[in-house]
């Protein structure tokens, strides 16, 4: 039956940045579909764990600063210890630093590129090597952005990193589709999370963003839950290298 294709029973998903925002929503969604979720985060995922345990779902936390050397090894080693393997990787953790291009230091540029771009590649590579190639398949979901397609305002490193995410999604899909690994991305629109708290507290920017969203509201983590389950499941087995915008129509305008 068609809805069975969306079930994730028996699968294990690694979700980075699972403690809050979109990562928390994605973790809850994958667990509701039946997956065991390993949340990799630098702060406690207690709230996410509680939400998942409330419906008897399975969640494990791996506390790790993903911007530090050795983070990829930590995620792989702890996943093996906790669940033996992984079938799904969601590269969700990301940071945004807002400053004029003229003021961006090399340090800040590297911070953003390191987490949003470099980690996405090397964690995908390690998870594919360790778990997906031996098992003959897997799913990678990268979290892109509207700034994978647009320049944004005062966020040049973020726009560069999120444009790279869409490129990497296609490059990895090209190489790994033949091995049963689907690599796709979700480009969220303007969502009410910590990532946009600065924007939402600026009355003028907030009103101008809201007026441009055809759906007439900011998105929420719940809005990307269905797309995440779809891309993590058998229902998307012939979808490769594509970025799905979940943006209330922002890109259509």
Which of the residues are catalytic? 158
| Min dist. Cβ of residue 39 to ligand NAP (A) | 9
Cα 235 versus chain centre, distance: 19
228 binds ligand NAP (CB under 6 A): no
Name which of 20 and 108 has its Cβ closer to ligand NAP.
20
How is residue 113 written in tokens?
Answer: 């590129």
Query: Segment 58-97, which members bind ligand NAP (CB under 6 A)?
Result: 65-67, 92-96
Name which of 177 and 192 has its Cβ closer to ligand NAP.
192
Q: CA-CA distance, 170 to 185, in Å (whole number)?
A: 9
Query: Segment 102-121, which members bind ligand NAP (CB under 6 A)?
Result: 115
Name which of 137 and 162 has its Cβ closer to ligand NAP.
162
| Min dist. Cβ of residue 212 to ligand NAP (A) | 13
143 binds ligand NAP (CB under 6 A): yes
SS3 content of the chain, % helix, strand, coil (to 5): 55, 15, 30
Q: CA-CA distance, 121 to 169, in Å (whole number)?
A: 9
Contacts with 133 (C-beta within 8 Å, 6 or more apart), sequence order: 179, 181
Q: Which residues pair with 14 in a beta bridge?
A: 38, 89
- Give the largest CA-CA distance in the chain: 56
193 binds ligand NAP (CB under 6 A): yes
Q: CA-CA distance, 31 to 13, in Å (whole number)?
A: 9
Binding characters for ligand NAP, 13-52, by CB under 6 A (x = yes): ----x-xxxxx-----------------xxx---------
CB 115 within 8 A of CB 95: yes
Residues that bind ligand NAP (CB under 6 A): 17, 19-23, 41-43, 65-67, 92-96, 115, 143, 145, 188, 190-191, 193-196
């Amino acid at each position: 039956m068609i809805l069975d294709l969306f079930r994730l029973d028996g699968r294990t998903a690694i979700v980075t940045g699972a403690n809050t925002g979109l990562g928390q929503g994605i973790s809850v969604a994958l667990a509701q579909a039946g997956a065991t979720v390993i949340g990799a985060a630098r702060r406690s995922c207690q709230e996410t764990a509680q939400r998942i345990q409330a419906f008897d779902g399975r969640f494990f936390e791996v506390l790790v600063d993903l911007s530090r050397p050795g983070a990829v090894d930590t995620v792989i080693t702890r996943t093996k210890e906790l669940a033996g393997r992984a079938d799904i990787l969601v590269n969700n953790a990301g940071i945004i630093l807002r400053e004029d291009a003229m003021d961006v230091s090399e340090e800040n540029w590297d911070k953003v590129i390191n987490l949003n771009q470099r980690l996405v590649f090397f964690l995908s590579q390690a998870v594919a090597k360790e778990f997906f190639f031996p098992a003959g398949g897997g799913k990678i979901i990268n979290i892109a952005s509207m700034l994978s397609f647009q320049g944004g305002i005062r966020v040049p490193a973020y726009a560069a990193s999120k444009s790279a995410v869409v490129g990497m999604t296609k490059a990895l899909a090209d190489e790994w589709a033949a091995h049963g690994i689907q690599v796709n991305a979700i480009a969220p629109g303007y969502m009410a999370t910590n990532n946009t708290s600065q924007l939402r507290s600026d009355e003028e920017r907030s009103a101008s963003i809201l007026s441009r969203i055809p759906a007439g509201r900011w998105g929420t983590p719940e809005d990307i839950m269905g797309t995440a389950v779809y891309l993590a499941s058998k229902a998307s087995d012939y979808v490769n290298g594509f970025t799905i915008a979940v943006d209330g129509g922002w890109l259509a305008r």
